[in-house]
Structure 1
Amino acid sequence: MHEQLCELLPRMRRFARSIAGDPHDADDLVQVAVERALARASQWRADRELAPWVFGIMKNAWVDELRARTRSRQLFAPEDEGGQVGTAPVEARMVAMSVEAALAALPEEQRMAVALVLIEGLSYREAADALGIPIGTLTSRLARGREALQRMLGEGDG
């Protein structure tokens, strides 16, 4: 399990960035998820894929964090204004920023469905299991999320 968890770290970080937006929050979310997964290792069934189980832990940890923020009005980490500075060409950064902004504008349940299926490549069943929802609910959220992203990115006009 430890090896598989280590192999999942890049995907976990990508998923965390998809749902949290802020890189610092994403790193904190990954750390919380790893800690919880290790603490609850006995709950994981070795005959099942690890990724959906871990992504479910991440989703629950993020929901917990959002609830705590609502109660306390505190952030995981301060906003990082320099997060987009890099060496990529300006146009590529602008496209990435617009996609990130569009993803961030989705309702949370759609953003999680899109992140797990389209970004992380989980099957519909795995993503539904990770989110603890029926597969029909996942497909509905995914369809609405895709449509909204296409509208926001100007790709649904044809």
Structure 2
Amino acid sequence: MKADSVISHIPRLRRYARALVGDAARADDLVQDTLERACQKWSLWRAPAAGTDADEHKALRSWLLTLMHNLYANQWRQTGRAQTVDLDDVLDMGHDPTPQMGLRLDLERALALLTPAAREVLLLVGMEQFSYAEAAEMLGVPVGTVMSRLARAREQLRCLMEGDAVRGASLKVVK
């Protein structure tokens, strides 16, 4: 594995990490931890046997994102809970530099409210454009689990963006 091939993936790793954790500093730490782990585990990465340069590039990206997912999951388990960012403390809501900024902030808030599992699937399939099978392989879950998590995540995101209460959060009435 060449260093240049890993370096070309850093912007995509940063984008995914930022969307995953919701905080630039923690995202940069996650990218750094991922690259450090990749350096330690270079001997484990195998290029596709009969693949082109594009196939090798895609396989390396998948491997790096899998490392990032595993590191994020381990960190999340160690903290015992998801850490959320209160965007109201970070951003001055009275200032709207662009007409679409409000929508972008609403999307960031809605993504932060999703469970980590739902957010990961939504980001891998929606933002990173991986297939269900690729996302399932990266997350270590069956394809059906990816499909169901994605469907629930999209529905929750839609409800949050529309201002509805999240469906599925209703209480069962007991006499």
- Would you call these one fold, judging by a TM-score over 0.5? yes
| Aligned AA (1:89) | P
Is 1:14 matched with 2:24?
A: no
Q: In 1, are the aligned partners of 2:20 and 2:123 still within 8 Å (CA)?
A: yes
Residues 99 and 38 from structure 1, CA distance in 2 versus in 1: closer, same or farther, beyond 3 angstroms? Answer: same
Q: Does 1:107 pair with 2:108?
A: no
Corresponding residue number in structure 2 for 1:26 = 27
Contact 2:96 2:102 in 1 (8 A): no
Pair 41,150 (structure 1): closer, same or farther in 2 beyond 3 Å: same
**Aligned counterpart, 2:143:** 135
Cα distance, 1:83–1:25 mapped onto 2, change above 3 Å: farther
Letter in 2 for 1:8: H
TM-score when scaled to structure 1?
0.83
User: Among the aligned pairs, what percent are the same residue?
Assistant: 38
Of structures 1 and 2, the larger Rg is shown by: 2
The C-alpha deviation readout for 1:25-52, integer Å capped at 9, x for no partner, is: 0000000001101110111111161122
- After TM superposition, the structure 1 = structure 2 runs for residues 20-59 of structure 1, keeping only pairs within 5 Å, are 20-47=21-48, 49-59=59-69
Q: Which runs of 5+ in 2 are unaligned?
A: 49-55, 165-175
Match 1:145 to one of 124, 136, 153: 153
- Show the counterpart of 1:60: 70
Per the normalisation by structure 2, the TM-score is: 0.75
Which structure's relative contact order is higher, taking Cα pairs within 8 Å and 6+ residues apart? 1
Question: More helix per residue: 1 or 2?
Answer: 1
What one-letter code is carried by the residue in structure 1 that aligns with 2:136? Answer: A
2:127 and 2:96 mapped to 1: Cα distance?
20
Q: Which runs of 5+ in 1 are unaligned?
A: none
RMSD: 2.7
Q: C-alpha distance in 2, partners of 1:26/1:83?
A: 18
The AA in structure 1 aligned to 2:132 is: Y
For residues 38 and 83 of structure 1, the distance between their equivalents in structure 2, rounded to whole angstroms, comes to 36
- Partners of 1:129 and 1:3 in 2: how far apart? 25
Provide the rounded CA distance (Å) in 1 between the counterparts of 2:114 and 2:140.
19
Tell me if the contact between 2:117 and 2:149 (Cα under 8 Å) persists in the aligned partners. yes
Q: Which runs of 4+ in 1 moved over 4 A?
A: 81-85
Q: Distance in 1 between matches of 2:77 and 2:91?
A: 25
